[in-house]
Structure 1
């Protein structure tokens, strides 16, 4: 069977909450394609406590808008647009939340072969700041890696 997930996706995420920063790094296989100047990054995210549970993540990049869609046990849809605030639905096990997402910076160097996407944004609930966030996603074709 051919390897359908031909791309290596590296995600580095940071969240600062009450002055403390948590950093998460994920390296996974996934899919990537460019269609009509829009980029699509797809990958599965597994639950560390229950590896049988996973969510399907799709990141759509179009111009200055990044949409992150997570489908699984809980669902969310975050819309990130540089310099703008959007209300987004975020499902948790405890219930649904409407959160505000304000995108501060966005740097996109994605092209037909991969590249990077860097975004920094804030999350707020009832206009009260909840956290400062940033992520960097790097996409590269698996067969282009020279380190192996």
Structure 2
């Protein structure tokens, strides 16, 4: 059963020595199906992907995070610790195939919410383009407020 939640996402990207941190607080839904946890939310103009819906699936048995975006843009990133996946990523300016290498995944997600953190590297034609980390906190909607 889907629950209404508040989702706080902090993303950090390091590229060519520059560090960029972006924080997003939004509402969405959260649920567990079988053994995987799902975090779902609507993108906004602030993220640059207005009209798209993002679904993040965490599979604890495989230590894999899959982020899918559908709607105005279509993208999928797979972050799996110790593995490199080739993924299709929509930038808003066009689509490209990128390499995604998973470095670390940690989670305290339960049926009530919690935290998931993951680190990964992106490459184009095997040339490193950025190192990234994402920290997501999921709180029941009645326990937290969106600022």
Of 11, 17, 20, the match for 2:18? 20
| 2:9 match: secondary structure | strand
Report what 2:87 is aligned to.
Answer: 88
Q: Once the two structures are superposed, what CA deviation does each residue of 1:30-54 show, in whole Å capped at 9, x if it has no partner?
A: 0000121110100011023989x33
Report what 2:42 is aligned to.
Answer: 44
Larger Cα Rg: Structure 1 or Structure 2?
1
Pairs aligned (count): 142
Report what 1:137 is aligned to.
Answer: 136
Report what 1:62 is aligned to.
Answer: 59
| 1:48 match: secondary structure | helix
How many angstroms does 1:108 deviate by? 1.1
Q: Once the two structures are superposed, what CA deviation does each residue of 1:51-94 show, in whole Å capped at 9, x if it has no partner?
A: 9x331000011120110001122211001101110000112344
Of 7, 10, 27, the match for 2:8? 10
Distance 1:5 1:105 in 2: 27
| 2:109 match: secondary structure | coil
Runs of at least 5 residues in structure 2 that lack an aligned partner in the other structure: none
Q: How big is the alpha-carbon RMSD for the aligned residues of Structure 1 and Structure 2?
A: 2.0
Runs of at least 5 residues in structure 1 that lack an aligned partner in the other structure: none
Distance 2:47 2:57 in 1: 28
| 1:83 match: secondary structure | coil
Change (3 A) 1:90 1:6: same
